[in-house]
Amino acid sequence: MKNFAFVFPGQGSQSVGMLDAWGDHPAVLETLKEASDALGEDVAKLIKEGPKEALALTTNTQPVMLVAGVAAWRVWRADGGALPAVVAGHSLGEYSALVASGVLTLAQAAPLVRFRAAAMQEAVPVGTGAMAAILGMDAARVIVGCAEAQATFGAGSDEVVEAVNFNDPAQTVIAGSKAGVEKACEMLKASGAKRALPLPVSAPFHSSLMKPAAEKLREKLAATVLAAPQIPVVNNIDVAVQTDADAIRDALVRQAFGPVRWVECVAAIKARGATTLVECGPGKVLAGMVKRIDAELTGAALYDPATLADAKALLA
């Protein structure tokens, strides 16, 4: 079998009915029950029926994406799928990776990500923060452009804009205050970016405006028992594999207000010998990024019985 990695998606890939294709697979039903018990609500109904607007609320999006990723992982394992050499997750997906690795149980992770989501939303009221994807520009230029845009507001201004997700060599997501992001989009387009797309999100995730949320998360994580990883997890914030529980906690805290270094994460996964990255969970955003990051790597998706069969064949 080829050396491979599993990667887990974050917010944005959710959709109503995203687990329907699995039917009554026991691993999926077990996952839904475990999450529902942990959260005290019917997660299966929320995923199956939505509505879309309810799934888009970050306090729902984070738990349902965790559940969907873990469900696909459990199906893979129940169907005889081998353990990957390494796992990672994009933003929120890092929590799914930690469940797959055995660091967290799903019963621990589901309330934890809901708490994280609520803390993030409280840190910046809806409508006051923003995020945008900058396409067709080198990340280093985006970083400089954000600094230049922020400087236009003058010293001591509360306006903030930062590069927060390094998704592929030509796609960087920025986040911050609404005015800061709008100014950066205008300036970056003027200096050569192909597009600057506002993202439909309710908070400026991974920006320094999330520090109040991170402090709340620090307290919550301090009271959470973590097990030793059974599979190496490459984290977002340091692009490192940690085995010490306190180091894992600290990385998760800093991840809330620090950048997702996904391009480097993929390089670190390759350095561990993996040639194929399987995106485990709804959608194929991460699978699509793989080739744009490194043409020598193969990306695949795993979100229904057909893609499960494809992944098994690809890795055989």
**In contact, 160 and 180? CB cutoff 8 Å:** yes
| Catalytic site includes residue 208 | no
Q: Are strands 129-135 and 195-198 parallel, antiparallel or unpaired?
A: antiparallel
13, 101, 202, 206: the catalytic one is 206
- Alpha helices by DSSP H, 4-138: 26-39, 43-49, 52-56, 58-78, 93-100, 106-123
Q: Are strands 4-8 and 86-89 parallel, antiparallel or unpaired?
A: parallel
Name the region of 204 (left: φ>0; alpha: ψ -120 to 50; beta: rest). beta
Closest alpha carbon to 201 in 117, 291, 316? 117
| Catalytic site includes residue 206 | yes
Torsion of Cα atoms, 199 then 204 then 207 then 210, to 10°: -160
Alpha carbons 13 and 1: distance in angstroms, whole number: 29
Peptide bond into 51 cis (omega under 30): yes
Amino acid, single-letter form, for residue 128 = T
Query: Per this entry, what is the length of the chain?
Result: 316
13, 91, 96, 207: the catalytic one is 91
Q: Would you name the residues annotated as active-site residues?
A: 91, 206
